[in-house]
Amino acid sequence: MAEYWSTLDVDLHLAVDPASGRRVGLEQALREAIRDGRLGAGTRLPSTRTLAAELGLARGTVSAAYDQLVAEGHLVATRGSGTRVAELGTQGAGNRSPANATATAGVSALGEPTGSPQRLAHNLRPGTPDLSHFPRAAWLRAARRAVNAAPNEAFGYGDPRGRIELRRALAEYLGRARGVRTDAERIIIVSGAVQGLALLAQVLGGTFAMEDPYIPLFHEVVRSHGAQVAPLPVDDDGARVDLLRGPDFDGAGTAVVTPSHQYPIGSTLHPARRQALVEWARAGRRVIVEDDYDGEFRYDRQPVGAVQGMAPERTVYLGTASKTLGPAVRLAWLVLPEHLVGPLTEAKRHADHQSESLGQLTLAEFIASHDYDRHIRAARLRYRRRRDLLAERLHTRAGRPAAGFALGGIAAGLHALVRLEPAGMTEAEVLKRAAEFDLDLEGLGDLWHTPPANTLASSAARPQGIVVGFGSPTEAAYPRALDALVRTLSWR
């Protein structure tokens, strides 16, 4: 079996079997490349002269092979346009395009595939911003400026903590916008909140007190990287930090909390509880991990400053670009107490050495130019309008006073909690009803550390509810998704 490479705009590996004859071998190699999808529909093949020269074949041999595949319907030859792979050429029983693969999968609160059999027409699941508003033009301008100004060493291996340009920009921005007290030397850039939690679990170990309900994946990440999880109850004033001094949390050395906008309940940690949390951490030389995933988005009052500003020596601040820009940016940051900088830097080095640098340079320029501030201000206004429309529609429920549920957690963030009343529909009934209206929602029941086995397990301490993500749909799709939500909740 002889192997050759052909350049068609990109390199293509062809295995031409000389035992079958040059023409037949080329036909078989091209046919196989079309069938297995390496030559996609519409791909333009090189001229017979070019391919013959590259493969060391006679031009007539290549022409004959092309003619045979045109006759079979694998190729289409058009005068003046050359020879291309036919549209039917990649449609085999074993092939499935990426677009079709995506269209049949659901997404989780983090925007990850869930394996659901199909994607519903309306999406109000939480976890992502409106990706159609990613600031493409401003991001491209920032990337161009950043790459042009970058020193040569920026394109090589670098500091595991991340590019100094981004760490400096973040130190300035976080201090100004979120009240975080830090400098560039105490910031580590990571590839998302998941990696940040994984590194913290490796370094800190022991038991992590983690809010309940919360994102189940985060619980799993902490456990899979060597730490234990103790579920910390949440109410309308945020995490029950008073329980941290009780027997259930005797061994807990770390508490992971979402003080600005608890996920998914939506409450803000009460000032007295903030102080109690800081005192707990200081008393036992413990660590607070502050997950500030959407702290920039507040609508009814001034933003609540980060807990980190109250106790920078005991708090790890975890921030991310996933909600402000989009998960595809794959950049998050850990602002660390001084004593954790060395251990976390080594853990990051061993995990992947460093996060990619070009995106870091771009984000640094995006922040330094204040394009980031302008983007967040525009997004805040857009999401507030959506929040207000959601509240208005659910308050009246298509002209009738709302009953059977209460809307909460709407002072901030990109999601709201529809808390179901005992006299109304159950969570399972709402989700079933939503599917009938082609609406994708997330139930609160899936977010508990130990989901209730049945509806009888639900109580005031463990309510039933629906988490509505008003950030995910496009501007055009959002009103239709709200219509489906209103119909879902208006059956009684």
393 and 264 fall within a common domain: no
- At residue 424, the pLDDT reads 83
CA distance 470 to 264: 13
For residue 292, which amino acid is it? D
Q: What is the DSSP string of 130-179?
A: -GGG--HHHHHHHHHHHHHH--GGGGS---TT--HHHHHHHHHHHHHHH-
The tokens describing 262, both together, are 């608890």
404 and 360 fall within a common domain: no
Residue 234 contacts residue 213 (beta carbons within 8 Å) = yes
141 and 43 fall within a common domain: no
Can the peptide bond before residue 113 be classed as cis, meaning omega within 30 degrees of 0?
A: no
- At residue 441, the pLDDT reads 94
325 and 395 fall within a common domain: no
Domain for residue 98, yes or no? no
The tokens describing 110, both together, are 């983090």
326 and 426 fall within a common domain: no
Residue 228 contacts residue 207 (beta carbons within 8 Å) = yes
Residue 51 contacts residue 6 (beta carbons within 8 Å) = yes
How large is the C-alpha radius of gyration of the chain?
Answer: 27
Residue 445 contacts residue 427 (beta carbons within 8 Å) = yes
350 and 420 fall within a common domain: no
78 and 127 fall within a common domain: no
CA distance 488 to 257: 32
Domain limits for position 404: 122-132+375-489
pLDDT of the chain, 492 residues: tens digit per residue: 444 444 445 566 777 777 778 888 899 889 888 888 888 888 888 888 888 888 888 999 989 999 988 888 889 988 777 898 988 643 443 343 333 333 334 445 554 444 444 578 899 999 999 999 999 999 999 999 999 999 999 999 999 999 999 999 999 999 999 999 999 999 999 999 999 999 999 999 999 999 999 999 999 999 999 999 999 999 999 999 999 999 999 999 999 999 999 999 999 999 999 999 999 999 999 999 999 998 889 998 677 889 999 999 999 999 999 999 999 999 999 999 999 999 999 999 999 999 999 999 999 999 999 999 999 999 999 999 999 999 999 886 544 445 578 899 899 999 999 999 888 889 999 999 999 999 999 999 989 987 655 444 445 567 899 999 999 999 999 999 999 999 999 855
* Residues 134, 137, 141, 144, CA torsion sign: positive
**Full-model pTM:** 0.79
Measure the CA angle with vertex 306, ends 161 and 352; round to 5°.
Answer: 20
158 and 126 fall within a common domain: no
- Specify the number of domains making up the chain: 3
CA distance 454 to 447: 14
Domain for residue 96, yes or no? no
- At residue 440, the pLDDT reads 94
CB within 8 Å of 145: residues ≥ 6 apart:
365, 369
- At residue 92, the pLDDT reads 40
Residue 106 contacts residue 439 (beta carbons within 8 Å) = no
Q: At what angle do helices 193-204 and 338-352 cross, to 10 degrees?
A: 110
Can you list the positions of beta strands (E) in 380-459?
A: 405-408, 415-420, 439-440, 442-443
Domain for residue 104, yes or no? no
Tokens 């830097």 sit on residue: 345
Type and span of the H or E element at 336: none
